[in-house]
Each structure stands twice: as C-alpha cells, then as structure tokens.
Amino acid sequence: MKFDGRRVLITGAARGIGRVTATVMAELGADVALFDRNEAVAETAEQVRHLGRNAVHHLVDVADHGAVADAVAGVEAELGPVDALVNNAGITTNIAPLDRMSPEKWQLELGVNLTGAFNTIQAVVGGMAERGWGRIVNVSSAAARGGLHSQVGYASTKAGLLGLTRNVTVEYAGRGVTCNAVLPGMIGTEKVMAMPKEIFDQAVSQSPTGRPGDPAEVAHLIAFLCSDVAGYINGVDILIDGGAAMNSVVLGSRRALRERGE
Ligand SMILES: NC(=O)c1ccc[n+]([C@@H]2O[C@H](COP(=O)([O-])OP(=O)(O)OC[C@H]3O[C@@H](n4cnc5c(N)ncnc54)[C@H](O)[C@@H]3O)[C@@H](O)[C@H]2O)c1
C-alpha cells in the first residue's frame, strides 16, 4: 500500500486510534490533516512531521457544521484537496439505562458520533466525486451490530453510521468514491486501558483471542480501505474484534474456565 502524497483527513486525531492512524498513514506516504477539539492534536501533527510527511491540524468540534466547513477550507488551502477521510472522532458520555438516560447527552452523542461524520463527509465528498477518486472510512463499533448495556446513545449513533456509510456508497460509488465502516471491538487505547480493571478483564474474557486489539491493527485496516487497491470494496462494515462476535453465548469467563481446567 502506498499513498504517495495523498491527503488524508482524520478526525479525533489527538490520541487513540486516530493518532495511530495518522502515523500509520504517514509511514505509508500520506500527508495528513488532523481535526480534534483537544490541543494534543498538535503533538500528533509533530509526530507525522518527524516521519517526513506534511501535517496540518485544526482545533474543531466535528459536531459544529460551520466550523467543519471552515476547517476543511483551511486544509484545502494549506495542503490541497482531501483524498481520503477517516471519521474517527467519537464519544461515550451517556452511561445509563435507557429509562434514566439524559436527553441532553443523547443529543451530544448524536451530534459528535453521527452528525459529525455527516458534516465532514458533506464538506469533502463533492470534491472527491468531481475528481473521480475518494475514500471515506467511518469508525463505527461492534456495538452497532448488537447492543451495549447502558449505552443506548452510543450504540444507536454507531448503528446510524452504517446507514450513512451505505447511503454515501449508493450516491457516490459511480464517481470513484468508496465509503466503508470499520467496527472495532475492544481496542487497547488510552481510554480503554483506563477502564476499571474488573470491567476490562470481563470484556477481554469475552474475546476468544483473549486480548484487546492494538490500535495499529485498526489503523492498518483503515489504511487498506483508504488505499487504491480497495477500490471495489464499498458500503460494507468490517468487524475487527478478535473474533469476539463469534461467541454467540458467553457461558463463563475464560479465567473461570481455565480455573476449572477447561
Ligand atoms: N477503543 C475502543 O475499544 C473502541 C471500540 C469501538 C469503537 N471505537 C471508536 O473508535 C474511535 C476512537 O476510539 P478511541 O478509543 O481512540 O477514543 P479516544 O477517546 O481515545 O479518542 C477520541 C478522540 O476524538 C476526539 N473528539 C471527541 N469529541 C470530538 C469532537 N466533538 N470534535 C473533534 N474531536 C473530538 C477526542 O478529543 C479524542 O482525541 C471512536 O469513534 C470510538 O467510538 C473505539
């Protein structure tokens, strides 16, 4: 896979999967534009420059339609047109059973996780279609296919991203644009590694692989979907969960089974 100076816009690039995706893309020869509302996004840009590629960053809330449009115009002036877009910015704020869910937090998750992707896609997809080449990857979640207890807002927005993905394919595939979703299971980002140990252990125990995913594993899948060779993959959602979804029924934790010698 070679990106040969192609310009990739990545949202949520201050840390986690977004930051690693930026450096993986740079190693493959891409120049990057990085959006985040966290100032640490400047450090990611610095890491990319150390790899010898161009990087620009913008402090932007992806939920803000006007701010996204302005920032994309800035990127186009600084780097040139956006060839590939990775919608990675995402939040989980609303951890409560549905009957106790705060409507304000529901709106917040909807705004960042789903409307944020609409905003960035709307800002770049017309240009991609005019130039006859574009790649869009939406970072959804394994939660989009099932449910996630006490996170109905998060799971619903991640499922909504799949509808957005498929619609972009239907509207733009004929003009050289692909749009796909990746559905990570548990990935060992800073956020996940800071979870309470018992919750982390329980979640890991449900994966037959027995470990969290590495952010770089997700980044390489995203890079593949953004590459030239993935031009015939369009409108799909790809799980990257170490096989966790294969566990249709979880009868006990791996540790408990090991203790029983099974
Ligand atoms: N880590 C996992 O296990 C996992 C699993 C499934 C899906 N995902 C998804 O992958 C993506 C990245 O996950 P992560 O673990 O790296 O998360 P993270 O919290 O470490 O990083 C998310 C980044 O998005 C930025 N961000 C949040 N709201 C924003 C906004 N309104 N505007 C701009 N930037 C904003 C944050 O500042 C942060 O830098 C998210 O969409 C998440 O839902 C992660």
List b or e across 111-148, with b for residues whose CB sees 16 or more CB atoms inside 10 angstroms.
bbbbbbbbbbbebbbeebbeeebbbbbbbbbbbbbeeb
Residue extents of the structural domains in the chain: 7-259
Please name the residue that has the structure tokens 């991640």.
158
How many CB atoms sit inside 10 A of residue 44's CB? 26
How far does residue 26's CA lie from ligand 1's centre (Å)?
20
Residue having the nearest C-alpha atom to atom 33 of ligand 1: 36
Question: Among this protein's residues, is 154 annotated catalytic?
Answer: yes
Query: Nearest 5°: phi and psi at 136?
Result: -130, 130
User: What does 232-243 look like in DSSP terms, one character per residue?
Assistant: T--S-EEEESTT
- DSSP, collapsed to helix, strand or coil, labels residue 95 as coil
Which amino acid makes up residue 236?
V
How far does residue 11's CA lie from ligand 1's centre (Å)?
9
| Length of the chain counted residue by residue | 262
Please name the residue that has the structure tokens 């932007």.
60
Tell me how many degrees the CA angle 74-119-163 measures, rounded to the nearest 5.
Answer: 145
Q: Output the ligand 1 site: residues, CB below 6 A.
A: 11-12, 14-18, 35-38, 61-63, 88-91, 112, 139, 141, 184, 186-187, 189-192
Tens-digit pLDDT string for the chain (262 aa): 889 899 999 999 999 999 999 999 999 999 999 999 999 999 999 999 999 999 999 999 999 999 999 999 999 999 999 999 999 999 999 899 999 999 999 999 999 999 999 999 999 999 999 999 999 999 999 999 988 899 999 999 999 999 999 999 999 999 999 999 999 999 999 999 999 999 899 888 888 999 999 999 999 999 999 999 999 999 999 999 999 999 877 655 555 656 666 6
The two most distant CA atoms of the chain are separated, in Å, by 62
Can you read off the two tokens belonging to residue 175? 């003009």
Can you read off the two tokens belonging to residue 35? 């959006």
How far does residue 91's CA lie from ligand 1's centre (Å)?
6
How far does residue 47's CA lie from ligand 1's centre (Å)?
19
Which one of 137, 138, 141 would you pick to mutate in the ligand 1 pocket, going by the greatest count of ligand atoms within 8 A of its CB?
Answer: 141
Spot the catalytic one: 79, 154, 207, 242.
154
Ligand 1 atom at shortest distance from the alpha carbon of 111? 31
Cβ-based neighbours of 148, under 8 Å, separated by 6 or more: 141, 154, 155
Output the CATH code of domain 7-259.
Answer: 3.40.50.720
Which one of 15, 217, 237 would you pick to mutate in the ligand 1 pocket, going by the greatest count of ligand atoms within 8 A of its CB?
Answer: 15
Strand ranges in 110-192 using DSSP code E only, listed in sequence order: 134-139, 177-184
Cβ-based neighbours of 103, under 8 Å, separated by 6 or more: none
Ligand 1 atom at shortest distance from the alpha carbon of 143? 6
State which H helix or E strand residue 87 sits in: strand 84-87
As a whole number of Å, the end-to-end CA separation of the chain is 42
